[in-house]
């Protein structure tokens, strides 16, 4: 069964900490994405990557960075966590434009 695996289901971090969210896919997909999901705001794109070492900003990149050193792994980094980054973070990969996303199970991050 093809999978996108997010390293943590739940995380609690302190304000100002540097936070790493890891995502691995086993489908050899070129494109990977990081979204955050908040009640009333839907899914908002933070960053995406269409190749190793390539990245593009999404709609809300401020306060985040990403790393894609290997095709299967796409990491989201919160440089200095803040309480307004408390959210559900979803990683996804895609085979091609018309195939739909495969999502991970999500990481529920709480910043205190």
Partner 1 sequence: TQLLEQSPQFLSIQEGENLTVYCNSSSVFSSLQWYRQEPGEGPVLLVTVVTGGEVKKLKRLTFQFGDARKDSSLHITAAQPGDTGLYLCAGAYDTNAGKSTFGDGTTLTVKP
Tell me which residues touch partner 1 (CB under 8 A).
Answer: 4, 9, 31, 33, 40-43, 45, 48, 50, 56, 58-59, 90, 92, 94, 96-106, 108
Q: What is the DSSP letter of 101?
A: E
Q: How far is residue 49's CA from residue 53's CA, in Å, rounded to a whole number?
A: 8
| Exposed / middle / buried, residue 16 (Cβ in 10 Å: 0-12, 13-18, 19+) | exposed
Rounded least distance, CB 112 to partner 1, Å? 20
Nearer to partner 1, 14 or 99 (CB): 99
Rounded least distance, CB 16 to partner 1, Å? 27
Nearer to partner 1, 14 or 97 (CB): 97
Q: How far is residue 103's CA from residue 18's CA, in Å, rounded to a whole number?
A: 24
Decide the pairing of beta strands 42-51 and 87-94.
unpaired
Rounded least distance, CB 80 to partner 1, Å? 26
Structure tokens at 112: 């205190």
Rounded least distance, CB 14 to partner 1, Å? 23
Nearer to partner 1, 81 or 101 (CB): 101
Nearer to partner 1, 45 or 77 (CB): 45
Dihedral (CA of 26, 52, 56, 86) sign: positive
């Amino acid at each position: 069964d093809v999978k996108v695996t997010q390293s943590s289901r739940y995380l609690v971090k302190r304000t100002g900490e540097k936070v790493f969210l890891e995502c691995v896919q086993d489908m050899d997909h070129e494109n990977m994405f990081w979204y955050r999901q908040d009640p009333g705001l839907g899914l908002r794109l933070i960053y995406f990557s269409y190749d190793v070492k390539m990245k593009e900003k999404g709609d809300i990149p401020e306060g985040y960075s990403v790393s894609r050193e290997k095709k299967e792994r796409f990491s989201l980094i919160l440089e200095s966590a803040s309480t307004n980054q408390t959210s559900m973070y979803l990683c996804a990969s895609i085979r091609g434009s018309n195939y739909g996303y495969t999502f991970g199970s999500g990481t529920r991050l709480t910043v205190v």
